[in-house]
Structure formats: structure tokens, C-alpha cells
């Protein structure tokens, strides 16, 4: 078979390879191949390994010399709030002074400020802002990401946000997996009518499913937001409608969100800084991915999730950016991975699995993406570093040299080819 693309001269190729969800100690079990090549045809990997790939070379084959750079699978960011309007740097001084997030929220700041801006924004404005973010994400090596609505909190704006995500698919190489998150907060106009908003959410989920605008439905289960009972009700309804549950769980107050994730068979339980100890073994027995978001802890000066306890007790862990305008306004996915190593005390190999194959599984895409394997989509990143450990050690910067999506190069010399910010 003749390849369209052959990447040669890879200093080291690293990839997870086990059947996901990859749990506990197995997360550190990855393949490392020195002096490697990858051969690609029609956007899929037809061979990889060490040795001479000349047998795949034809007159039309693009022969790409990686010049000793290291290769990993394209990163999969399993938790972002990609589409929103405005920014919240004015709250920064309050945050720095130590005003708790829930207090800023109750005073009409926080998410309510973004909701107001997003309701007012047109699709062109939302699309332009998201494209700029996607350019940054891909420059940090992210080739697929999950994106949540949840800055509309009314049917019209939630649908508008999800429509923007669908349109972005035709405009940008980064693949987006959409999540409906109308249950991100109770909007101001429903503060004295929670039941009314719950009914609206049920109606919205049906519309979203009927129009095929989302794969998942997510609920922010937290004190002052949605109660455990409301969360279970919404996620059970979501499953019945055909949306897969996800949950913002145990971020600030231990309400038992991780246990709810197991009960409703959620794809993921996210945050988990305040997880109840007794829920850890339940997570370990389930297929729920524990999605840890260290950028949020970093930015809010909060405690970090206890990744070691989760991994050591056999849970399948993922790491994600939680990119959003309030608690983690950064697309620097490599910083997130550096925090996972330094603050969550994850081993370098565990970080790789948590950034690729486990989030791909969580998004239902691990047959196609999340590792470098035969028949898999040719999504990979070349990092200009002597080894993977160095990528996690030399922090705060991007090590990306090149990114390939579906076998097509979309980043060169660390910059997005043809992007709006290049």
C-alpha cells in the first residue's frame, strides 16, 4: 500500500495502547518507540513503528522528516466551555482579594455577567471568538475537544450556542463534541421559580436532541446551583431523551456528585476536588472517567483534586482544561498537563493517557482517536523536546512544533496554518 504521508525521523513516539477506560496503575502503561515512523493513507494510520518505511513511499507521498522531535497522539480536551461572549477580568481583583466564587455569583457577577453578554451577542461574534480560541488550542496540540453550552440559560441562546459549535466544524480542523449545559446555573429570572426552570430545561433537552445539536447533557451539581436531587432528575431525563449524562461534581462542597455519576452512568464526573472518600471505589468499578481540571484550582487558588488517591484506587482519570471565562480562562493545554504532573502528582505516562485515550473514551470516540494505532485517525503532535518528561517539566510554554489532523498538517513551527490569528 502506498501512503499519502510518511513521518520519519521521530526521536520517540509515545502512545497509550490499552483498551479504555484505562484505570489506575495501567494508566502508566504506554508504548515508547525510538527512531519511529508513521505512515498515513486517507487520513488513517496504516503502519507505525521503528525501521524503514520506504515500502510505503510512492511518487505522490509526502515524506516528512520530524528531525528527532517526539510524537504523541493529538490531545483530547474533554471539558471546555468554548463558546461565550465577553471576558471577566474585572472580577479578577475581587478574586485576588479572596472573595469566594459563590459570593461573586450571588452578587450578579460570575456566570451571570457572561450570560448577559452571550445573550446579546450575534453568531458572527461568538464564532469569531471561538475560532480564535480553537487556533490557540490546536497550537497547544489539541485536535479534539468537548464544548458545553450554558451561557444562555434560555432556550434561544442555548440553541444559538450549539448552532455556533456545529458551524465551527466546517470552519476549523479541531473536532468539537457538543454538550448541552443549560443546567450551568439558575438564571436570575428564575431565582424564585426553580421548578419553572427545571421544566424549561426538560423542554430544551428535547429540542436539542430532536435537532441533533448535542451528544451530552451536563449539570453543575453544587451548593447554590443544582441540588443532588435536581441533578439526578435532570440526568435521568437526559438519558431517556438520548443525551448522555455528564456532571460537574464535588468541586467546592462534597455533595456526592461522583456517586451520582456512577448511579446515572455518566460519561464523566468532572472536578472532584471535594470528592467523598467512599465514592472513589465506586468510581473505580465503573466506566466513568474522573475528569480533573487543575487549571481551575490554579486560577482560583483552590485545592487540587487528589489524583493520586483516585489513580492508586483504580479510577480512570482524564485531565482537561475547563476553558471558560470565569475560572480557567486559558487555552494552554500544555500548562494543564504540566499542572497535572506538578500539582496533581501524576506520572508523565499517566498524564499522557489522561490527555489522550481516556478523554477519547469519555467522548465515545476511542475507536477512532486518542492513540496512535493501526486504522486510527492520523491525529498527532510533534513536540520540540528531547523527551515527554521535558514537556511536562519546562512549564508555561508550548512545545508544539507540528500538528496533524486527519493526516493533514494544521500547525507548522508552532503556528496554525491559515488561522485567523496567524
- Nearer of residues 39 and 249 to Zn ion, judged by Cβ: 249
Binding site for Zn ion (CB under 5 A): 322
- Nearer of residues 45 and 183 to Zn ion, judged by Cβ: 183
C-alpha cell at 373: 494505532
Q: How far is the CB of 81 from Zn ion (least distance, A)?
A: 6
Q: How far is the CB of 46 from Zn ion (least distance, A)?
A: 37
C-alpha cell at 11: 526521536
Q: For residue 329, with 0-12 CB atoms within 10 Å meaning exposed, 13-18 middle and 19 or more buried, which class applies?
A: middle
What is the residue-wise DSSP string for 318-360?
EE---BBTTTB----HHHHHHHHHHTS---HHHHHHHHTHHHH
- Nearer of residues 272 and 410 to Zn ion, judged by Cβ: 272
- Nearer of residues 66 and 183 to Zn ion, judged by Cβ: 183
- Nearer of residues 41 and 184 to Zn ion, judged by Cβ: 184
- Nearer of residues 322 and 379 to Zn ion, judged by Cβ: 322
Residue facing Zn ion at closest CB distance: 322
Q: How far is the CB of 327 from Zn ion (least distance, A)?
A: 8
Q: How far is the CB of 150 from Zn ion (least distance, A)?
A: 8
What is the residue-wise DSSP string for 245-303?
EEEEESSSS---HHHHHHHTT-SEEEE-TT--TTHHHHHHHSS-EEEE-HHHHHHHTPP
**Which of 251, 263, 260 shows the shortest CA–CA distance to 224?**
251
- Nearer of residues 163 and 322 to Zn ion, judged by Cβ: 322
- Nearer of residues 77 and 322 to Zn ion, judged by Cβ: 322
Q: How far is the CB of 185 from Zn ion (least distance, A)?
A: 11
C-alpha cell at 217: 447533557
Q: How far is the CB of 167 from Zn ion (least distance, A)?
A: 22
CA-based torsion, 116, 118, 122, 124: positive or negative: positive
C-alpha cell at 39: 505512515
What is the residue-wise DSSP string for 4-62?
SEEEEEEEEEEEE-SPSSP-GGGGG-EEEEEEEEEEEETTEEEEEEES--GGG--TT-E
Q: How far is the CB of 38 from Zn ion (least distance, A)?
A: 33
Residue 239, number of CB atoms within 10 A of its CB: 15
Q: How far is the CB of 317 from Zn ion (least distance, A)?
A: 16
CA-based torsion, 145, 146, 149, 150: positive or negative: negative
- The answer to whether 36 and 13 are in contact (CB under 8 A) is yes
Amino acid at each position: 500500500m502506498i501512503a499519502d504521508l510518511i513521518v520519519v525521523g521521530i526521536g520517540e513516539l509515545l502512545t497509550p495502547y490499552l483498551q479504555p477506560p484505562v484505570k489506575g496503575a495501567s494508566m502508566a502503561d504506554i508504548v515508547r518507540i525510538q527512531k519511529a515512523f508513521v505512515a498515513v493513507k486517507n487520513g488513517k494510520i496504516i503502519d507505525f513503528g521503528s525501521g524503514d518505511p520506504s515500502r510505503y513511499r510512492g511518487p505522490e507521498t509526502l515524506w516528512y522528516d520530524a528531525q528527532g522531535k517526539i510524537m504523541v497522539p493529538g490531545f483530547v480536551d474533554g471539558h471546555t466551555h468554548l463558546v461565550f461572549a465577553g471576558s471577566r477580568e474585572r472580577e479578577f481583583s475581587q478574586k485576588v482579594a479572596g472573595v469566594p466564587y459563590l459570593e461573586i455569583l450571588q452578587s450578579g457577577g460570575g456566570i451571570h455577567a457572561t450570560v448577559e453578554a452571550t445573550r446579546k451577542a450575534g453568531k458572527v461574534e461568538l464564532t469569531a471568538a471561538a475560532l480564535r480560541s480553537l487556533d490557540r488550542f490546536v497550537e497547544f496540540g489539541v485536535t479534539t475537544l468537548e464544548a458545553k453550552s450554558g451561557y444562555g440559560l434560555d432556550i434561544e441562546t442555548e440553541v444559538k450556542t450549539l448552532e455556533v459549535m456545529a458551524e465551527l466544524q466546517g470552519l476549523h480542523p479541531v473536532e468539537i463534541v457538543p454538550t448541552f449545559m443549560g443546567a450551568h446555573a439558575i438564571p436570575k429570572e428564575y431565582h424564585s421559580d426553580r421548578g419553572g426552570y427545571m421544566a424549561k430545561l426538560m423542554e430544551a433537552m428535547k429540542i436539542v436532541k430532536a435537532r441533533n445539536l448535542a451528544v451530552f447533557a451536563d449539570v453543575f451539581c453544587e451548593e447554590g446551583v443544582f441540588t443532588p436531587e435536581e441533578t439526578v432528575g435532570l440526568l435521568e431525563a437526559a438519558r431517556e431523551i438520548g443525551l448522555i449524562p455528564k456532571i460537574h461534581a464535588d468541586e467546592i462542597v462534597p455533595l456526592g456528585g461522583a456517586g451520582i455519576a456512577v448511579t446515572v452512568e455518566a460519561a464523566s464526573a468532572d472536578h472532584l476536588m471535594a470528592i467523598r472518600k467512599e465514592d472513589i471505589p465506586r468510581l473505580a468499578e465503573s466506566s466513568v472517567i474522573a475528569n480533573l481540571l487543575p487549571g481551575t484550582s490554579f486560577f482560583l487558588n483552590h485545592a487540587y483534586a487528589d489524583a493520586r488517591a483516585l489513580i492508586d484506587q483504580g479510577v480512570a482519570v482524564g485531565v482537561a482544561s475547563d476553558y471558560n471565562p470565569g475560572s480557567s480562562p486559558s487555552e494552554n493545554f500544555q500548562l494543564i498537563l504540566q499542572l497535572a504532573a506538578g500539582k496533581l502528582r501524576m506520572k508523565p505516562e499517566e498524564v499522557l493517557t489522561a490527555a489522550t485515550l481516556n478523554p477519547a473514551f469519555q467522548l465515545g470516540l476511542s475507536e477512532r482517536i486518542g492513540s496512535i494505532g493501526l486504522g486510527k485517525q492520523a491525529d498527532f503532535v510533534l513536540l520540540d523536546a528531547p523527551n515527554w518528561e521535558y514537556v511536562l517539566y519546562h512549564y508555561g510554554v508550548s512545545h508544539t512544533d507540528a500538528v496533524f489532523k486527519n493526516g493533514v498538517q494544521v500547525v507548522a513551527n508552532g503556528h496554525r496554518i491559515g488561522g485567523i490569528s496567524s
